[in-house]
Amino acid sequence: MRIGMGYDSHRLKKGRPLMLGGVQIPSPRGEAGHSDGDVLLHAITDAIYGALAEGDIGTHFPPSDPRHKDKPSRFFLSHALDLMESRGLRITNLDCTVILERPRLAPHREAIRASLSALLSLPPDAVSIKAKTKEGLDAAGRGKAIEAFAVLLLEERV
């Protein structure tokens, strides 16, 4: 078994879509990033790379590379999943936390969970999504940024 932990954060910018776990969330502001900025998929991707001791997204897809500008984050996740599968491993469970002041994520939690379940080939009961605020503290707490954490467990495929 191998454990991976991932983290990502982005500034929020007017006019950008807010993507979380492959789901577009209605919001006037979204992630400002080199790709579509989906912090949750980035954190999950980094957790996979971490469990494999393979660095992070920036190691595999440097933000200075214009070929990856505005790519959907599913592209990066797919690469990490392929690497994981090539080593005979699979994800057994995933626990995520998203930190965002607004909009409230509770109405979107099940859609995000279903999206992640499909993307990762996991049963929904193996995917946990939590939403937190920072109660006005730091950039995320002032509504200027979004953060995501992901922890997952890999085990050998049977």
Residue list for the binding site: 8-10, 34-35, 42, 56-58, 142
- Candidates 106, 130, 144; CA nearest to 29 is 144
Q: Are 100 and 107 in contact (CB under 8 A)?
A: no
Q: The dihedral of CA 26, 32, 34, 38: what is its sign?
A: negative
> Residues annotated in the binding site for a divalent metal cation, as ranges?
8, 10, 42
Beta bridge partners of 145: 11
Four-point Cα dihedral 61, 64, 65, 71, nearest 10: 70
